[in-house]
């Protein structure tokens, strides 16, 4: 069996900007919690829903040891 691979990265850099009088961690990093609990799951679902519309490709999450808070790898396989 012969196998070829190609990697494509889509990286999100999250930032929160606070006013000058902000004392630090007053909000308990609610902006990170919003990303983790709401935005990221919706985004991943949307990506999988779209990719599954292409039945020639099989898609699944691949874990290579990184925390899912830092990285989600989506493996796509097309068999000939």
**Residue 60: its H or E element:** strand 58-62
Coil, strand or helix at 34: helix
Q: Are 75 and 60 in contact (CB under 8 A)?
A: yes
Q: Tell me how far CA of residue 50 lies from CA of 31, 59, 61, in angstroms.
A: 27, 11, 15
Half-sphere CA count of 37, side-chain side, radius 13 A: 6
Q: What is the pLDDT along the chain (80 residues), one digit of tens a residue?
A: 999 999 999 999 999 999 988 887 778 899 999 999 999 999 999 999 999 999 999 999 998 888 999 999 999 999 99
Q: Domain limits of the chain?
A: 30-64+72-77
pTM for the model: 0.82
Residue with tokens 């961690």: 25
Q: What is the C-alpha separation between 75 and 59, in angstroms, rounded?
A: 6
Question: What is the structure's pLDDT at 27?
Answer: 80
């Amino acid at each position: 069996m012969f196998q070829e691979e190609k990697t494509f990265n889509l990286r999100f850099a999250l930032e929160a900007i606070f006013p000058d009088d902000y004392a630090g961690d007053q909000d308990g990093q609610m902006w990170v919690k919003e990303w983790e609990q709401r935005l990221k799951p919706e985004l991943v679902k949307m990506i999988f829903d779209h990719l599954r519309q292409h039945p020639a490709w099989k898609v699944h999450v691949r874990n290579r040891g990184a925390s899912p808070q830092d990285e989600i790898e989506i493996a796509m396989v097309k068999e000939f």
